Structure 1
Amino acid sequence: MESILSAIQSTNVETTFTIADALMDAGLAAILGLIISFTYIKTGKNSKNFARTLIILPSLVCLVMLAVNGNFGTSLAVVGAFSLVRFRSLQGSSRDIGFIFFTMTVGIICAIGELPLALLVTAFICAIHMVLYYTNFAANDVDEKDLRVTIPENLDYSDIFDDIFERYTKSYKQVAVKTTNMGSMYEINYRIKLNDEKQEKSFIDEIRMRNGNLTVVCGRCDMNEAEEL
């Protein structure tokens, strides 16, 4: 602990910088933020405002650290407070949080004058994001779908659709059951893989005939999960 405190105190040395230096560091931070924003857009679902914020944030972090004139502890405290603003008003995904810390890191590196290191870190982390995206690392099976079927409470849901699943699906699994409409109906969630996507309408039509033409929802797993958030 003493070694950590001494290291922090050693960074709290008054430093001088010119306006030209500050503008150069902030300008490079903005350029790197543009690269980070482009990576964010290309590697998944994106928000227009958040993508623009990623361009500005590295420059803000850099200028805040330069403005406190070398007081490392104070600058990190201020930057940390700024980074929480988004997540106090809107729930952020783990991907958004990762990009927030990415841009903060680049801004801090630019503020201490290590511009080549900032370029290297940006290129390295962006390359990792691209590789993970294009290799579909840890992605769900794209053929897998969620099926939600509503049935009246007087039907036994244990094996009511098994014969239909045997004809139309490669695999199926019941995931969850819940009551709806004041307990007068059941909603059954399945995870399925269809034999042929072109037969989806026929598949749903047979289920509708079995459940009395009540609600049937079939869609990609990630789409249904997003609707529940």
Structure 2
Amino acid sequence: MESINFTDIFKSSILEKTSSFSIIDSLIGLAVAFIVGLFIYWVYKKTFSGVIYSHSFNISLIIMSMATALIIIGISSNVLLSLGMVGALSIVRFRTPIKDPMDLVYLFWAIIAGILCGAGFIPLVIIGSILIGLVLLFFVNKIKIENPYLLVIRYSNHNIENSLEHVLSSSTKKHSVKSKSIMPGNDFEVTYEVRVKETDMTFLTSISDIEGVKSAVMLSYDGNFTA
């Protein structure tokens, strides 16, 4: 039977785990995750094209990169801890809605960067992040995609529909009726999808001047409605 001495009683398992923990490697991983997070922050700010820019969301990308790297560093040397971490994270439910698909791209990018930094793949995360950033900067800022507009017209006399068609045919590249409805008070409302000529909106004045037109509203759609 083995004897237990005084040293065995006060032996700390935490100190044993700390002895196999590399502070320098951890600091390098967190530092690279911070730098890559700053790069993601800058790319997101340069390529944002939504309605309202969220600075707090952009800051969260930096923190997410560092936090993910911290988790990977912690579980990389302990299988039991990794299984426990997976179980703990599986019960987390994020209830913040993500409306823009591009926001999901940046979230996924930040998480992957943190994983690679925590695992020690520093060259891979640097090269990959630079390439992803260049692709985003090129496709979002350099390539302009012509988004259609929605034109909502409310009028009281259905006899003016020919006049509306004449104005739209002469002032827009393309237009088509998407919906038409009868409103209370015998008013009509029609929705057109139009593609304008070099953002020329002067035809709205011509439509508003038509007798019987009560309102004409132009909406652009790029994932969010803006008037």
TM-score range, shorter chain: 0.7 to 0.9
Answering whether residue 155 of structure 2 is matched by residue 151 of structure 1, we say yes
How many residue pairs match? The answer is 203
Inter-partner Cα distance in structure 2 for 1:63 and 1:98: 21
Q: Distance in 2 between matches of 1:66 and 1:57?
A: 14
Measured against aligned partners, the alpha-carbon deviations of 1:108-167 in whole angstroms (never above 9, x if no partner) come to 11111111111122112112212222342xx5326x533211123x52676451222233
Matches of residues 50-65 of structure 1 in structure 2 within 5 Å?
50-65=57-72
Distance in 1, matches of 2:211 and 2:152, equals 12
Written as runs of structure 1 = structure 2, the 5 A alignment for 1:153-172 is: 155=158, 159-172=162-175
Q: Distance in 2 between matches of 1:120 and 1:197?
A: 39
Q: Would you say 1:187 and 2:216 are equivalent positions?
A: no
Q: CA deviation at 1:204?
A: 2.4
- C-alpha root-mean-square deviation of aligned residues, in Å? 3.1
How many Å separate the matches in 1 of 2:191 and 2:165? 14
| Alignment match, 1:208 | 208
Q: 1:1-229 residue pairs with structure 2 within 5 A? A: 16-45=20-49, 46-68=53-75, 69-71=77-79, 72-75=82-85, 85=94, 88-136=95-143, 140-141=145-146, 144-152=148-156, 155=158, 159-180=162-183, 182=184, 184-194=186-196, 200-201=201-202, 203-210=203-210, 212-222=212-222, 226-227=224-225
Going from structure 1 to structure 2, the CA distance change for 1:140 and 1:117 (only over 3 Å counts) comes to: closer
Letter in 2 for 1:141: E
Identify if the C-alpha distance between structure 1 residues 24 and 197 changes in structure 2 by more than 3 Å, giving closer, same or farther.
closer
Alignment check: 8 A CA contact 2:160 2:212 kept: no
Contact 1:65–1:75 (Cα < 8 Å) also in 2: no
Cα pair 1:150 1:211 within 8 Å, conserved: no
**Cα deviation, residue 80, structure 1:** 6.7
Percent identity reads 20
Distance 1:34 1:178, change over 3 A: farther
Q: 1:214 aligns to what SS in structure 2?
A: strand
Name structure 1 gaps, 5 residues minimum.
1-13
Aligned-partner Cα distance in 2 for 1:195–1:126: 32
Counterpart contact for 1:65–1:76, Cα < 8 Å: no
User: Take 2:65 and 2:54, find their aligned partners in 1: how far apart are those partners?
Assistant: 18
Return the alpha-carbon distance in structure 1 between the equivalents of residues 130 and 198 of structure 2.
42
